[in-house]
Amino acid sequence: MKIKTSKQLALACAKMALDKKAFNVMLLDVRAWQGLNDYILICSAQSSIQAQTIAEEIRKKLKEEGIYNLGVEGYSQGKWILLDYNEVIVHIFYEYIREFYDLESLWQDAPRVKIPKI
């Protein structure tokens, strides 16, 4: 997997999340808001352990490609895990936490990117 663009990175993260059974996966294009990231990936997990598994899969596979995250937040609790890849931010939520914070509403004007079927 040769990742050259931020969109390829975002789609790769989405695929890895789906491979670990993430659901309600949404990819937002936020390039119009200059100074922010290019893409935001939001997905849900059925448990904190599954959220941690999704995060670990993304980190491991991207590290194999020489791509390292700038930061990780929330991993130990597994309720809302944030992975910062500079151009791409990944949010992995335990579903009930996602409903509470409702990030999709904050970015309601951002175009949704179609994630190809695996």
pLDDT tens for each residue of 67-80: 999 999 999 999 99
Does 48 fall in a domain?
Answer: yes
Instruction: Indicate whether 73 belongs to any domain.
Output: yes
Give the CATH number, domain containing residue 60: 3.30.460.10
Q: Which domain, by its residues, includes 52?
A: 11-106
Structure-token match 């941690």, residue found: 52
Phi, psi angle pair for 10, to nearest 5°: -60, -45
Q: What is the band of 94 on the pLDDT scale with cuts at 50, 70, 90? A: very high
Domain presence at residue 3:
no
Asked if residue 24 is part of any domain, the answer here is yes
Query: What pTM was computed for the model?
Result: 0.93
- Average pLDDT rounded to a whole number, residues 74-93: 97
Q: Note the maximum CA span of the chain.
A: 36
Residue 38 lies inside a defined structural domain of this protein: yes
Query: Contact at 8 Å (CB) between 38 and 31?
Result: yes
For residue 80, being part of any structural domain is answered with: yes
Residue 77 CA, chain-centre distance (Å), reads: 17
Provide the domain count of the chain.
Answer: 1
Tell me the percentage of the chain whose pLDDT exceeds 70.
97
Whether 82 is covered by a domain: the verdict is yes
Predicted pLDDT of residue 35: 72
The pLDDT-based confidence of 33 (bands split at 50, 70, 90) is confident
